C-alpha cells in the first residue's frame, strides 16, 4: 500500500518569515531550538532527523514525541496502520509539533517502516538519523551527548551505530548491554540508534522480510561482519519500556523473568532467530548458539509459566518450522 504523507519540508527549519508562528513546546514552530545550531567537526544538529515508528499509539507516545521534538532538527513519524482515532491524534500532534507524518495504512512491519522513514530523511537532505520505538523517551541533553560521543569516538570511521544507556522507565533500573571484549557491542537495539545515512546507503536497508523482531540484531551482525563497530554513549540516557515481564519461580528456584509475549510475537521471535542462525552461524557461532539456548528456555517458560500457553506453543512451533524452511514476510492468518 502506498504511504500517505503529511507534508513537511526541511527548508521550513530555516525559513525566517515563520517567526510569527510563535513558540510551541519550548521550540519554534518549525523546530529550531536555541543551541541546536552548534556544530562539531562532522555533524551539525540541523543535519539530524529523528524517525519514530508508531503502532496504535497512546497518549504517552504523544508525550514522547513532545519531549523529542525540540532536540532534533527534523522529525518523521511512520505509522503502521493505527486506527482512525489514533491517526487523528497523530495528525494533531504533527500540526502542533511540526513533524512529518507518513501513514502506511496497514502494518508493514518495523523494518519496512524504518526504511520508509530513513529514505524520506534522505530525500529531505539530512545526513544523520536517530531511530526510536514509540515507547522510548529521551532525557535532557540526549542528542547533544550522543553527538559528542559519536564525534569523539575512539573507533573513528569504523563506528557505524551509537546507542545510549537504557533505563527501564517502570522502575528506573538500567538495562544492561552485551559487549564483545575489545570490539564494542554485540548487537544494538533500534531505539536510540544514531547513525549516518551514508552507512545506510553503503550497508543496505533493514531486512523487510523479518517484519518484526530481530530486525536490529540482523542489522548489527551485518555491520559487524563488514568490520564496523557498534558502541554505547555513557552520557546519554533513554527511558525505555521493554514490555510486560513478570517474575516466577518453579519448585523453589530463584526468581526468573517470564516475558509474556503474545502468540504472534512468539512466532516472529523463533522464525527470525532461526533465520539469523542460518545466515550468520559461520561468522558469529557464539551469538547464534546463545539464540538457540534462549529459544529453548523460552519454550520451557511458555510451557510451565505463561497463560494461554497452548496457543503460544502452536505459534512457537510454527515459527520453528517456517524459520527452518526460510519463510519470510508477514504471517498470514486466516
pLDDT given at position 158: 97
Among 212, 240, 268, the domain-final residue is 240
Question: Residue 260's domain spans which residues?
Answer: 246-325
**pLDDT tens by residue, 24-58:** 333 333 333 334 443 444 566 689 999 999 999 99
Q: Look-up: residue for cell 497463560?
A: 307
Distance between CA atoms of 3 and 108, rounded to whole angstroms? 10
* Residue 303: CB atoms within 10 Å: 13
CA distances (Å), origin 100, targets 130, 136, 154, 207: 15, 19, 35, 24
Strand, helix or coil for residue 184: coil
User: Strand 48-54 and strand 256-258: pairing?
Assistant: unpaired
Mean pLDDT, residues 242-266: 78
Total count of domains within the chain: 2
Which of 121, 110, 115, 119 is closest to 13 using CA atoms? 121
Percent above pLDDT 90 for the chain: 75
- 286 by Cβ neighbours in 10 Å (0-12 / 13-18 / 19+) ranks as exposed
Torsion angle of C-alpha atoms 306, 311, 315, 317, degrees rounded to 10: 80
Task: Say whether pLDDT at 177 is over 50.
Answer: yes
Which parts of 3-141 fold into alpha helices (H)? 59-68, 84-97, 110-123
Distance between CA atoms of 154 and 215, rounded to whole angstroms? 27
pLDDT given at position 216: 98
Say if residue 8 is in the same domain as residue 85.
yes
Say if residue 236 is in the same domain as residue 255.
no
Say if residue 235 is in the same domain as residue 257.
no
Average pLDDT, the chain: 87
Task: Say whether pLDDT at 334 is over 90.
Answer: no
Among 200, 216, 240, the domain-final residue is 240
pLDDT level of residue 241 (50, 70, 90 thresholds): confident
Global pTM value: 0.87
Among 240, 259, 278, the domain-final residue is 240
* Residue 172: CB atoms within 10 Å: 8
Amino acid at each position: 500500500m502506498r504511504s500517505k504523507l503529511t507534508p513537511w519540508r526541511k527548508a521550513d527549519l530555516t525559513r525566517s518569515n515563520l517567526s510569527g508562528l510563535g513558540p510551541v513546546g519550548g521550540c519554534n514552530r518549525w523546530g529550531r531550538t536555541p543551541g541546536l545550531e552548534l556544530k562539531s567537526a562532522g555533524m551539525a544538529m540541523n543535519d539530524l532527523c529523528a524517525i519514530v515508528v508508531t503502532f496504535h499509539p497512546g497518549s504517552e507516545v504523544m508525550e514522547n514525541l513532545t519531549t523529542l521534538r525540540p532536540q532534533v532538527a527534523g522529525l518523521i513519524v511512520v505509522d503502521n496502520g493505527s486506527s482512525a482515532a489514533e491517526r487523528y491524534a497523530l495528525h494533531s500532534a504533527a500540526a502542533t509539533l511540526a513533524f512529518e507524518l507518513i501513514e502506511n495504512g496497514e502494518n508493514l512491519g518495523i523494518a519496512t517502516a524504518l526504511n520508509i522513514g530513513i529514505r524520506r530523511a534522505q530525500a529531505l537532505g539530512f545526513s544523520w538519523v536517530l531511530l526510536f520505538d514509540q515507547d522510548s523517551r529521551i532525557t535532557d541533553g540526549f542528542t547533544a551527548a550522543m553527538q559528542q560521543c559519536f564525534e569523539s569516538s575512539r573507533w573513528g570511521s569504523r563506528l557505524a551505530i551509537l546507542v545510549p544507556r537504557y533505563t527501564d522507565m517502570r522502575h528506573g533500573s538500567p538495562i544492561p548491554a552485551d559487549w564483545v571484549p575489545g570490539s564494542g557491542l554485540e548487537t544494538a537495539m533500534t531505539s536510540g540508534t544514531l547513525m549516518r545515512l551514508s552507512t545506510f546507503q553503503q550497508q543496505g536497508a533493514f531486512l523487510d522480510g523479518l517484519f518484526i523482531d530481530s530486525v536490529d540484531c540482523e542489522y548489527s551482525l551485518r555491520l559487524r561482519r563488514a568490520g564496523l563497530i557498534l558502541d554505547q554513549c555513557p552520557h546519554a540516557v533513554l527511558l525505555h519500556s521493554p514490555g510486560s515481564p513478570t517474575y516466577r519461580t518453579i519448585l523453589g528456584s530463584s526468581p526468573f523473568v517470564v516475558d509474556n509475549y503474545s502468540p504472534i510475537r512468539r512466532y516472529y521471535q523463533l522464525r527470525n532467530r532461526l533465520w539469523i542462525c542460518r545466515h550468520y552461524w559461520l561468522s558469529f557461532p557464539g551469538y547464534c548458539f546463545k539464540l538457540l539456548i534462549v529459544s529453548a528456555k523460552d519454550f520451557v517458560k511458555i510451557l510451565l509459566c505463561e497463560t494461554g500457553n497452548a496457543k503460544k506453543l502452536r505459534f512457537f512451533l510454527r515459527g520453528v518450522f517456517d524459520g527452518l524452511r526460510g519463510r519470510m514476510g508477514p504471517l498470514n492468518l486466516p
